[in-house]
């Protein structure tokens, strides 16, 4: 307590990827002059990561066998995560978006059709050129892809990380009025502390007392 009083306990986390960032990233990926298969993997990785509020380790762990496409969208089974140490499993549901361009489910369908992945990891590394390997992406690869896409979109990427997709989902969901229970259902948070922080930051201007002052 003495250290906290002297040094403070404020947390300076990495920036979340918000809706405007997400659209800029997807737009710039689609405009890139590279092989279509590479563009589709990267845009799908980012959209699924954001849409499901995934940790980067969870994102790269997804196998084809963990996917179930249903009428409403997509079910993804996480067999183990940071908050599920006993491997009980956890299912996330991603509905279809009205705008297909930014829809994680539509992008994933297109990626699976083009890559012809039928089993094993859905997010894989490339060898030379457009040759897709059977090797799963690493969590560090996710960070590098995110930072590179931010750079291409003209967004300062120093303060973003692999966690920015997850925190971005929670922050944006809170901005659009989602309650903490529904956010936690998607992210898998076991306590409300971090989720309430996202909600607080999302509403910092919405419920600002200064809005009541007319000058």
Active site (annotated) includes residue 163? yes
Q: Is the pLDDT of residue 9 over 50?
A: no
Closest CA to 141 of 172, 117, 162, 165: 162
Structural domain tally of the chain? 1
Residue 8 lies in a domain: no
pTM: 0.83
Residue 3 lies in a domain: no
- Return the DSSP state at 154: T
Active site (annotated) includes residue 196? no
Q: Which domain holds residue 37?
A: 15-203
Of 82, 101, 190, 200, catalytic:
82
Residue 209 lies in a domain: no
CATH classification of the domain holding 135 = 1.10.443.10
High-pLDDT (> 70) share of the chain, %: 84
Residue 214 lies in a domain: no
Residue 132 lies in a domain: yes
Residue 213 lies in a domain: no
CB 54 within 8 A of CB 179: no
Of 15, 102, 124, 198, catalytic:
198
Residue 10 lies in a domain: no
Give the pLDDT mean for 68-76: 97
pLDDT tens-digit map of 112-144 = 999 999 999 999 999 988 899 999 999 999 999
Active site (annotated) includes residue 55? yes
How far is residue 42's CA from residue 144's CA, in Å, rounded to a whole number? Answer: 11
Active site (annotated) includes residue 189? yes
How far is residue 213's CA from residue 215's CA, in Å, rounded to a whole number? Answer: 6
How far is residue 104's CA from residue 44's CA, in Å, rounded to a whole number? Answer: 6
Residue 123 lies in a domain: yes
Active site (annotated) includes residue 198? yes
Query: How far, in Å, are 19, 103, 106, 109, 143 from residue 57 at the CA level?
Result: 22, 22, 22, 21, 11
């Amino acid at each position: 307590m003495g250290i906290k009083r002297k040094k403070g306990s404020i947390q300076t986390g990495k920036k979340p990827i918000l809706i405007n960032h997400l659209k800029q990233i997807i737009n710039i990926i689609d405009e890139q002059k590279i092989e279509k298969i590479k563009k589709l993997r990267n845009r799908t990785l980012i959209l699924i990561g954001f849409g499901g509020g995934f940790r980067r380790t969870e994102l790269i762990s997804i196998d084809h066998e963990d996917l179930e496409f249903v009428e409403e969208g997509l079910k993804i089974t996480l067999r183990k995560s940071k908050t599920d140490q006993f491997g009980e499993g956890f299912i996330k549901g991603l509905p279809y978006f009205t705008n297909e361009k930014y829809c994680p489910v539509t992008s994933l369908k297109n990626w699976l059709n083009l890559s012809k992945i039928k089993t094993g990891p859905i997010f894989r590394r490339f060898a030379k050129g457009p040759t897709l390997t059977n090797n799963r992406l690493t969590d560090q690869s996710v960070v590098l892809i995110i930072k590179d896409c931010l750079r291409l979109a003209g967004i300062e990427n120093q303060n973003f990380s692999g966690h920015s997709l997850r925190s971005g989902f929670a922050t944006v969901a809170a901005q659009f009025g989602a309650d903490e229970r529904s956010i936690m259902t998607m992210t898998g948070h076991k306590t409300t502390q971090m989720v309430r922080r996202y909600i607080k930051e999302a509403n910092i201007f919405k419920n600002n007392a200064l809005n009541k002052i007319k000058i």
